[in-house]
Chain A
Amino acid sequence: MKVINYKQIEDCLEGTNIRDLLLDEPVTKEFVEKLGKLGKLILNETMEKPFFKIIVRSKYTIKGSIGNNSIRVMLPDNAEFEMMQEIINFINEEEKS
Chain B
Amino acid sequence: MIYFNNTATSYPKPEIVTEAVKAYLNRPPLHSSRTGIEHDGDDIINTCRKNIAKILNAQSPEQIVFTSGSTEALNLVIRGLDFSGGHIISTSIEHNSVIRPLKTLESEGLISVDFVPCDKYGYVKANWIVEAIRPDTKAIVVNHCSNVTGSIIDLDELSKIAKNNDLILIVDASQSAGLVPIDVDSWNIDYLAFTGHKNLFGLPGIGGLYMKKTLELKPLKTGGTGIKSEILLQPKSMPLYYEAGTPNMPGIVSLEAGSRFVIETGLEKIASHKASMVKYMIDELSQFEEIVIYTSLENNSLSNFCFNIEGLVPEEVNYILESSYDIHVRSGLHCAPLLLDYLEVKPWGTVRASPSYFTQEWEIEKFINAIKEIVQIFVRNKKRHENESYKLQTN
A interface residues, Cβ below 8 angstroms from B: 11-16, 18, 44, 46-51, 63-65, 68, 72
Contacts and interface: CB of A to CB of B under 8 A. Distances in A.
A65 B332 contact: no
B349 interface: yes
B315 A11 contact: yes
Contacts, number: 44
Contacts of B324: 47-51, 65
A11 B325 contact: no
Given A12-B331, A14-B347, A44-B377, A51 B318 contact: no
Nearest to B323: A65
A18 B316 CA distance: 12
A16 B318 CA distance: 15
A16 B377 contact: no
A49 B325 contact: yes
A63 B318 CA distance: 12
Contact of A68 (B316, B323, B347): B323
A12 B377 contact: no
B335 interface: yes
A48 B320 CA distance: 12
A51 B332 contact: no
Contacts of B378: 44
A63 B315 contact: no
A63 B333 CA distance: 22
Contact of B319 (A12, A47, A63): A63
Contact of A13 (B320, B325, B348): B348
Given A46-B377, A51-B320, A72-B319, A12 B325 contact: no
Interface in B345-388: 347-349, 373, 377-378
Q: Of B315, B333, B378, which is in contact with the most chain A CB atoms at under 10 Å from its CB?
A: B315
Contacts of B319: 63, 72
A12 B347 CA distance: 10
The prevalent SS among residues of A at the interface is loop
B120 interface: no
B331 A11 contact: yes
Nearest to B377: A44
18 contacts: A11-B315, A11-B331, A12-B331, A12-B332, A12-B334, A12-B335, A13-B349, A14-B347, A15-B347, A18-B315, A47-B373, A49-B325, A51-B324, A63-B319, A63-B323, A68-B323, A72-B319, A72-B323
A16 B331 CA distance: 13
A74 B268 CA distance: 43
A51 B374 CA distance: 10
Nearest to B325: A49
A23 B362 CA distance: 31
Contacts of B316: 63
Contacts of B348: 13
A12 B323 contact: no
A64 B319 CA distance: 8
A18 to B, nearest CB: 8
A27 to B, nearest CB: 10
Interface string B291-321: 0000000000000000000000001101110
A51 B324 CA distance: 6
B60 to A, nearest CB: 38
A65 B335 CA distance: 28
A64 B377 contact: no
A72 B315 CA distance: 11
Interface in B249-301: none
A13 B332 contact: yes
A47 B377 CA distance: 9
B23 to A, nearest CB: 34
B323 A51 contact: yes
A14 B348 CA distance: 8
Given A49-B325, A65-B324, A11 B373 contact: no
Contacts of B325: 49
Contacts of B333: 12-14
Contacts of A64: 323
Contacts of A46: 377
Nearest to A51: B324
Given A13-B348, A13-B349, A46-B377, 10 more contacts: A11-B315, A11-B332, A12-B333, A14-B333, A47-B373, A48-B324, A49-B325, A64-B323, A65-B323, A72-B319
B320 A12 contact: no
